[in-house]
Every structure is written in C-alpha cells, then in structure tokens.
A and B are shown apart, each in its own frame.
Chain A
Amino acid sequence: MAPANEFPGNIFFYLVILGFGAFFALTVIMRLIPFVQGKRVSRLDHLPARVRDFFLIMLAQSRFFRRKYWYSGILHVFIFWGFMVLLIRSLNLLLDGVSADLSLQHLLGDVYTAWRPVMDLFNVLVMVGVGMAAFQRIFIKPERITINRDAWTILSLIFLLMVTDVLGNSLEIFRERGDKDYFSFFAFGVANLWDTVGLGRGTAEAAHTVFWFSHLVILFAFLDYLPYSKHSHVLTVAFNVFFRNSEPTGVLQPIDIEGIMERAEEGATFGVAKVTDFSWKQMLDFLTCTECGRCQSNCPAFLTGKELSPKAIQHAGRVALLANTPTMGSILRLSPAVPRTNGEPPRPIDTMGFESIWDCVTCGSCQYWCPVMIEHVPTIMDVRRFLVMDEAQMPETAQAALMQIEQRGHPWRGTTFTRGDWMEGLEVGLFDGSQEYLLWVGCSGALSERNVPITQALAKLLIQAGVSFGVLGDEEPCCGDPARRLGNEYLFQMQAQQAIEVMNVKGVKKILTACPHGYNIFRNEYRQFGGNFVVVHHSELLAQLVQEGKLRPREGVEQTIVYHDSCYLARHNDIIGAPRRVLASLPKARLVEMERSGMTTFCCGAGGGHMWVEESKGEHINNARTKEAMATGAGVVATACPFCIQMFEDGIPALEPDEEKRMRALDIAELLEVAVAARGKEAAAPTSDLSAAGEEVSAGP
C-alpha cells in the first residue's frame, strides 16, 4: 500500500513522474542534436566480443579490480552493483505507486522476497561506499579526483536515496508487519527500532509518506540532474562500453583526403576543426568521463609537469560539445545560447589548448586505465591533424621533421649513412620474392648511428640461424609512421601507398621488423590501404629461434638486466613475453623488473612523433623513465625498440656524469648476439662489447 495510491498522493505522484520525465526527455533530445550532426562511424563489428566486454567491463566491473586503485575499486563496485540491484526496488516503488496489484512484490511473490535481503545488503554497502568516497575526498584528497560542488551533490543524492529507501522501507514494515519482512533484514532492524522508541501509528504513517515521496522525488531529481553533472556516465557508460574500440589501441583511423577536398567549398576540414567534426562515439566519450583522473595519473606528459592532462582534454571536449548544444534556458529564451567569441562557439582546439595537443606521446596509458573505455588518443590526434593539415600550426621541430620526410624520404636529418651502409661486410641479399621474410630495416635501423649496430646484430643472428630473408636496401621508403603520429595524414598516406606498392610488386608476404612502430603500422594500419602482410617483431622471432635450438646462447652475460617495455610493443600490441624469453635464455644473466612494466609500462617519451619534437616543459620523459630503470640497480637496460634505446642513451649520461658508473642500454638482439657468439667463419666480434665501460653514443637529432 503506497502513499501514492489515493488522492491527493496520486496527483503528486503522476505530476512528479510527468514533470521530471518530460524535463529528462527534453534534455536527452537536445543533447542528441550534435550527435546526429557528428561523423558517422560503425561500431557494430565483433558483436559477440562486444557482448562479452559489456558483461566483463561494465557489469562485472573488471577494470575496478586492478590493484593500483583498489580503494576506489571497492567503493565503486559497492555503489554500482548496489545501483543495479536496487533498480528492482525503485521499479517496485513506481509500480506500487500506480497500484499495489502491479508491484513486483505482488507479481513475483517469492522471487521478489528472495531478492529483498540482497537489496538490503546493498543498501548498507552503498552507504559504506559513499562513506569511503567521502573519507577519500575529505582526508586523502588524491590529486587525480575532481572534488567540487557537483561531486558532493552526487554523493549526497546517492546517500539520501539510500537513507530514504531504508527509512521508507522500515516504516512500511513497521506499519504492515508482513510475515516475510525479516528478509529485508536491515530495514527490519530499523523497524524494530521504531518499536523500541514507541513510534505512534499516526506519526509512522506521516513519516512513511514523507520518506516514500522523498525517495521518489530524489530519484527523479537525480535522473534529471545527471546530464548536467560530470556524473552523466551513469546514463552513457553502457553505450560507451558496448561501442568500445575493437581494434588494437595503437591504431589511428584514416581520413578520406580526396573526399574532403571535394567538400572543401562547404567547409570540410581534414582534422577536427569544430566539435561536430568528431564522431558520435568521441562525443559520447566526453559525456562519459567522470573525471576520475586515472588517465591523468598515468600520463607520462602530465606526470613530468606538462600542460597535457587527458582528463582535462575530455572535459574540454565536453565544454565544446555543450557549447554547441541547445540548452533548456536557450530554448525557453531564458538565457543566452552559449558563450561565444566573435559569434562562433568555442572550437575543440580553443578549449583543449595547443600545448596539450602536442604534448601527447600516444602511449595509450590513459586508455588502459580508463574504466569507462574512453578513447583519449584518437581525439587528441584528430585535433592535431587539424593543426597540421588545416592550419599548418605546429612546433618548429615537428615542422622540420615533416619537411625532412617530404624532401628526403626519412626523418633523420644530418645522417651520414645511406640505407645500404649497414650491410657492408654482411652477407645480406636484396629481397626478390624467393625469401621467407622481408627484413624491414626502417629509417632508424639504417640511418641512426645507435641503431645501425642493432640491425647488424640482428642480421648476423638471422644468418646464423639460417633464416631466409632479404632487404629492400635503397628502395626502402619511410613507412610513414612519424608523419601519421605528427598529424600529417596526407604525407603518411603517400608514404604508405608507396611502401605497399614496393612490397606488393616484390611479392612480400611476411615482414620482420625490429621496430614496434613499424610493427604496429604494418600489422594494424597498412590494411587500411590494401596492404595485408604477416608481421613479426624481432623479439618474437628471436625467442622462437632460441626455443627451436637454432640459436644457442652459450656465452655468459653476467649482468643484471632490466627490460623496458616499448608502449607500441606491449600496451598496443600485447608482445610482452617474447622479449623476456630472449633475455631469460642468456646464461648467467639476472633479470629484474620495473614496477611500471608490461601493460602498465611507462613511456620512454619518443612516441607520438616526440622522437623529433622538443618537449614543451617540465622534466624530460626519458629522464624520468631512465631514473626508474636506474633505481632497479641493473647494469643494463634492455630494449626492443629503436626509439626507446635512443631515449635511454640520452637519459643515462644526463643522469650519471661518471662514465664508469653508467648503466648500459642494449637491444635484445645485441645481448643475444653476445651470448650466441657465432661459431665458425661468421665468428666476427659481436657488434657490442659489454666489457667496455659505457661508451658515449650520441642519440638522434
């Protein structure tokens, strides 16, 4: 028997539902307007995986069970599961308000009764969760969390919902004394309290009415408030998880350059100039960000004192999106439409900021930690594309790097090598279609002073193991990765098409590369332009050759080695075990790990084109990572990426002036070569000499 079943309660009941309901519906419709104008993308592929991830990530809250944020994980799981569980009670309340015969208690009988203890348990757990959250925000105050009036409003509303629920429930039990009421054990306990204090029947009835209607109003007020709050993820997260990115995280989507040129008259731009250039999914991301700050706390740029915060980017996106959305006030002509400068609403670049857009190293750490599946990197890169291709606005170093690729076909200005120099003295032949692998040497592998010895070490190992491979030599173009990461999609597409053509003409089927960026681009992105190849990273092949006995590490490598995971290898492409298997095969080597390793690896700082672009301010990212490696006490830091190793070679002397004490930086191929120490006539000295005290090797430009 609900207070809404008869006059005047029922009037109020329907007024609340209709009034708040209408407001909510209007809000949703207004909010959907820019979504309809946004870019169309399809996220209906891999449906079984989407359903699976919906269960795992959203319902089972899998990302909240990570150790790093265990405290927040517990409190969120309590509150979220509580919400799901207590939806049943809310539904029951609404139906009961219409008629007792419609209530779930009536319709489902014992099934509903069995659910009652679960709901009461979660009444308690939600309040515990809110308490934990309040404690965290008052006393611990982690930097990542946004604590403002909005945040406290949400917490208070949740708490009030629980309080009104429990109290209303307890008063109903007190009044009606159903025989199964003890199932609602918590409310039952509170009802006994009313007994003890001798609550009068009239007071009980009045109090029950108050709490019942309060719960209803707060529920609907909460619903209506959500879209206007940073807590709107409650409404959007189910969609954001279901429509998540299904490709590897390191992938950027192509732009239809020709198509946009044709629509240039209508104002079409290559990157994201205005907020409706974003896709509906990117807009959904903005509304799903709860500003929890896990992304920010794991962003190498933010952690080293730069402008960029991925959370701030999402917030800025939201500001720009809402500025392009009609508001209730503007529809009712109560308030001006939007804060405008020169008659135009703010653009994403205005709210996000030039420096932040350029600080990003595309390491993907933000996306790994985000519990609601926001895709930070492509959003930043889309604005970067606008800056580069539409506005030609970029840091000088970025411009120089792009000019190099355009004019010279590689980004390594000042190199004294040609693409064939590394082959001198080695029996490496050109690829002619008869070999199994094309060894893609890469611009770094051929032209960068530090990387040439690595290419040579790898080639020697391959020759010794009898691997069938060839190279492109002088015909090898730049794969285009730096162009794409620097935002010049046009230059990238030209390079990619050129590279794909060269490889297809020669009949390349399998590509072997020592570069994770090349690996990522050949394996995951070239197919966007019709290039389909089997791609193998050198760590995978070397691990396999060792396992098959084709390479036998026998010479001791008496070093403590710490392995640094390249972002593009580990986080973006799941290659974590293979390099470690190579290192584990080195006799007498002792392996140690950094805390931020594997999927949580910390970027060396060279991603996103930053191998060539100066950092804006703060500590150098590579120095921060070098410090971390040095703190393990290892004598050697092992890498499997031509960028990472150059970053360490820069950082090590910067942090340790005494040459004798320096950590060495070596590629896994170089280490393996020392251990394998070729027998027979290929027994030239290994390319690296571990016994020599740290030679100073100059890194890139």
Chain B
Amino acid sequence: MPLHIIACVKQVPDPEAPASAFKVDEAAKKVTPAAGVASVVSQFDALAVEAALRVKDVASDAKITIVSMGPAAARDAIKHSLAMGADEGVLLTDNAFENGDSYTTALVLSKAIQKIGDFDLLLFGRQATDWDAGVVGSGVAEILGLPSVSIAKAVAVQDGKVVVERVLMEGYDTVEAPLPCAVTISNELGEPRYPKLQQIMQAARKQVSVWSAADLGLDASQVGAQGVRLNLERLYQPVSEVECEVMEGETPDEKAQKLAQRLREEKII
C-alpha cells in the first residue's frame, strides 16, 4: 500500500513586512496588514511540505495531499506546495471559518482529514508565523486520537513506523511512533526545495478540491467566531523605546571603566 501523507499549510501575511505595515485595532481586537503586504506560505508549513517530499524521495509511490484552510487566496499556498512536488490539494474555505482560534482550525482540519481518509502521516508546521500559537498540529492529533510528535528536524518512515528526530535545547531525541501519526516540523529541518519550472507549470494541472463547512458536516456554530474556545483578552502593539548611552573616553580602557561604573549605578552588576 503506497504511503499517503497529508500536509497542512497556512497562508499568512508576510511576517517580515515592516512592523509599521500592520495596524492593530485594539477595540475590535483585530490586526490588518497594509495593502502592500504580500501573502506567503507560513515558513514552517513550507518545511512540512518539504518533510513530506523527503519521505517521498525514499518511498517514490507515496502520495502527498495538501490541505489548507483559508480565504480563496489560500489557493496560492496550495499551488506552491503542488509545484514543490505534492500531488493533490484541498482548499477549505467558508465565511463561517473566519475569526476562529486554534481549536476551530484544528476541528476543521480534522474533519477534512477524516473525509480524505486513508492517511498514514499528518505533517504540520510547528506554529504559524502570524499568531505563533503552535497548537493546531497537536490539536488535530488529539481530536483524531492519534499519537503526535512535535518540533521535528527529521522525519522518516520505516517498516510502518515513523522515526522522528525531535529538537531539544541540548540536541535531539529520536522518537518512534506507530502510523498513523501527526508530526509538527521545525526550522531545523533545513530549506524547502526550489521547484523546477516544469513542476511549477505542471502544478496548474493538479487537482485542487474546494470544500465548505457543509461539505465537512459542520455548521457555523461549531466553527469560526462562534466556535472559539479561547478568550482573546487584549490585542495591542507593544511600544518599545530604546535609549542608547555611548561611553566616551580617550582610550578603550577609560571607556571600559566608565561602562563598569555606569552598570554599577544602574544596579545591573
């Protein structure tokens, strides 16, 4: 039986856009990126796709399905993943999905995954690079009753098991888990591969299904703003002020002495 891998990707506003490009509406607890800010595939999710492709490099008959929940524009994230080498895509889009939280996202993804069925490995980025909650991957595993391993730097499938190198402060653990299993991928995995032009052009011909809440058997009360389990208390842009005092002196020794004195005064040393 060929391996079936499902990788979930999220399209996010460019996390490297300058901070000034984001406007926070504190009252409405919403953040809006400026018009010029690009939408990109969340960095760790691209690595999840890369991890899937590395498994496929070894098990060449494996099939990779990309799933993304988002507005219609999220199709671009799926297309990019297909260009990298994935086989099929599923876009989950519905107004009802908007303004949810990690739980509603995990719920929607779980339903989609169940509908796709017949999967062996679920791959996610460790966290999305907009909200950085880091919960959805493990959350999906919880909902589906599957084992999960988070923060992986390497994933391999051997004899019906998944072998994961899990990042630690001091190094890494090697973890084995039975399939089906969920794994979240960290940046230590490396770089996502650059698609060849042929693959980019072929991606246009690959199948992308579009499902709504109804297709997943969900109604509006379970998802989006109505289904949240997390209470967002406050959303604000922290103001940071930096004061820089330059130590003057004729010689480096003198400057160092003054610095030491100053640090003493501020009770830092």
Residues of chain A at the chain B interface (Cβ within 8 Å): 257, 261, 264, 270, 389-392, 394, 396, 399, 402-403, 407-409, 413-419, 474, 490
Contacts and interface: CB of A to CB of B under 8 A. Distances in A.
How many chain B residues sit at the interface, stated as a range, is 20 to 34
Interface in B184-241: 191, 193-198, 200-201
Given A399-B191, A418-B34, A419-B36, A391 B196 contact: yes
Contacts of B16: 408, 413-414
Nearest to A419: B36
Contacts of B20: 416, 418
Given A396-B191, A399-B194, A408-B14, A418 B200 contact: no
Given A408-B14, A417-B18, A389 B40 contact: no
B198 A403 contact: no
6 contacts: A391-B196, A396-B191, A402-B194, A407-B40, A409-B38, A418-B21
Nearest to A391: B196
Contacts of B197: 257, 270, 389-390, 490
B45 to A, nearest CB: 13
B38 A407 contact: yes
A402 B35 CA distance: 22
Contacts of A408: 14, 16-17, 38, 40
A418 B196 contact: no
A339 to B, nearest CB: 28
Contacts of B40: 407-408
Instruction: Count chain B CB atoms within 10 A of each CB in A257, A389, A407, A415 and give the residue with the most.
Output: A407
A213 B69 CA distance: 87
Interface string B1-42: 000000000000010111111000000000000111010110
Contacts of A399: 191, 194
Contacts of B41: 407
B194 A394 contact: yes
Contact of B201 (A261, A394, A413, A416): A261
Contacts of A402: 194
Contact of B198 (A390, A417, A419): A390
Contacts of A419: 36
B171 to A, nearest CB: 24
A390 B14 contact: no
Contacts of A390: 196-198
Instruction: Count chain B CB atoms within 10 A of each CB in A391, A392, A396 and give the residue with the most.
Output: A392
A391 B264 CA distance: 59
B194 to A, nearest CB: 4
Contact of A490 (B36, B193, B200): B200
A406 B178 CA distance: 38
Interface string B147-174: 0000000000000000000000000000
A407 B14 contact: yes
Nearest to A399: B194
A409 B21 CA distance: 15
Given A264-B198, A408-B16, A408-B40, 11 more contacts: A257-B197, A261-B198, A391-B196, A392-B195, A399-B191, A407-B40, A407-B41, A408-B17, A409-B38, A414-B16, A418-B34
A403 B35 contact: no
Contacts of A392: 193-196
B205 to A, nearest CB: 11
B50 to A, nearest CB: 13
Contacts of A389: 196-197
